[in-house]
Chains A and B, each alone.
Chain A
Amino acid sequence: MLHPVARSLGYRLHHHASLGSTNEEALALGRAGDPGRLWVVADRQTAGRGRVGRAWASPPGNHYATLLLVEPCQPRLAPQLGFVAGVALATALERLAGAGHGIAIKWPNDILCDGAKLAGILVEGGSVPQGGGAAAFSAVLGFGVNCASHPTDLSYPATHLGLIAGAAGTRDALFAALSATIVDALDLWDRGRNFAGLRRAWLDHALPPGVSLAVVRQGARHVGTFRSVDDDGRLILETGSGCVTVEAGDVFLADRDTAAAS
């Protein structure tokens, strides 16, 4: 169920028992002319996916929801939407988990709880040709959250919301909370005019500076100390040879198993 605040602002919900991928469905609806502010929710996904086409295990009981936004910002600002999504999801999860939760965002927008992966976000931008070479920009914000169970066959530890928030940690409770917190995060961001403010909120919810991170990119692994994110949202990692900014790659906690998934 959508939060009443979201409903009053014209957000809509399409609920499916099963979909290939909520992101795919939302992108297709955007291409077909949907005006946006549409949530696509599935009880299970048969082709759930993560970064660079990786599979995202999607059994019933967990949260698979995608928000379609049409023309949310200029296309070049699309990467900022990942930070909007991260702030919204972390805030919703923290509300359900209560005090002393251990929930934190790992750059750019995975959610960990005490170092174990709780949720992943996949933001994708699409464009709808309008003729004459012009195109409308649409974006989908996909939220995969382990609520009732978590996979145990990953190269890194995972957890689920039920273990953290108890009976309050259901998929439906999370979706209701998230459908409201995303409204707040989008308002704060103000179509990119206030990325500075959104960035501060993101840092408030992120792993603390000083954590050791490993960045895996195309098979090579680099370890450094998390310092911050820069004004464009890139990861600032302090290595033995200076500060490095990272714009893409897989990021792991360095003191955990960091077998490369790519």
Chain B
Amino acid sequence: MPMIRNGLRTRPKGTRPTPAGTAAPAIDADLLRTLATLISDSDLAEMEIEKGDLRIKLVRHTATSHAPAPQVTTPMLVAAAMPAAAAAAPAIPAAEHPGAVKSPMVGTVYRRASPEAKAFVEVGSTVKAGDKILLVEAMKTFNEIVAPRAGTISAVLVDDGQPVEYGQPLLVIE
């Protein structure tokens, strides 16, 4: 499932997203607004709510200053409700780079060993194969991400403390 930054996706539990052109499920706009306010007022990175057979998952890009904007998987509703969120989701060209290092798991990415430490790497850092470049935490399991090859960091695609999806590009080594 793709990550939706600053996003909110809703769909009935156990179903696939509604294909374009079919009837969209009824979405309570007040509910969405309430949830968006709730997560923006909190420091939660992710929130999942079930009500009847409706399941709503909010995932926040915690390190940015944008307020989380609802986005719904149903194309009609995306267009009608949240053009801003749709505009925020273009693919990052660097992510397609063959030197992109991808997340081995769903979790939270850290660029440093502790809040006071300096980042493992910055854009321009030279690394050799096996150097620690990031950490991904999932349920208190901390996973070192090491450079698969020697090179120079040409792009860092994540912020400290950001939630990441499985396979999401994290940075680029050239």
- Which residues from chain A sit less than 8 Å from chain B, CB to CB? 27, 31, 51-54, 75-79, 81-83, 108-109, 121-129, 131, 133-135, 137, 139, 215, 217-220, 222, 232-234, 241-248, 262
Contacts and interface: CB of A to CB of B under 8 A. Distances in A.
A123 B42 contact: no
Q: Which 4 A-B pairs have the closest CB atoms?
A: A53-B114, A220-B43, A125-B143, A79-B138
Interface residues of B, number: 43
Interface string B106-136: 1110100111110000000000011000000
A129 B105 contact: no
B148 A123 contact: no
Contacts of B106: 76, 232, 247
Contacts of B117: 53
Given A133-B148, A242-B50, A222 B139 contact: no
Contact of B105 (A78, A220, A243): A78
Contact of A248 (B50, B137, B143, B166): B137
Contacts of B163: 247
A22 to B, nearest CB: 15
Contact of B114 (A52, A134, A244): A52
B50 A243 contact: yes
A129 B141 contact: no
Contact of A222 (B44, B105, B148, B166): B44
Contacts of B130: 31, 128-129
B74 interface: no
A124 B45 contact: no
A11 B38 CA distance: 49
B146 A82 contact: no
28 contacts: A31-B130, A53-B113, A53-B114, A53-B115, A76-B104, A77-B105, A78-B138, A79-B139, A81-B141, A108-B139, A122-B142, A123-B140, A124-B142, A125-B144, A126-B143, A126-B144, A127-B145, A127-B146, A129-B129, A129-B130, A129-B147, A129-B149, A133-B148, A135-B148, A218-B43, A222-B44, A242-B51, A246-B44
Contacts of A133: 148-149
Contacts of A79: 105, 107, 138-141
B153 to A, nearest CB: 16
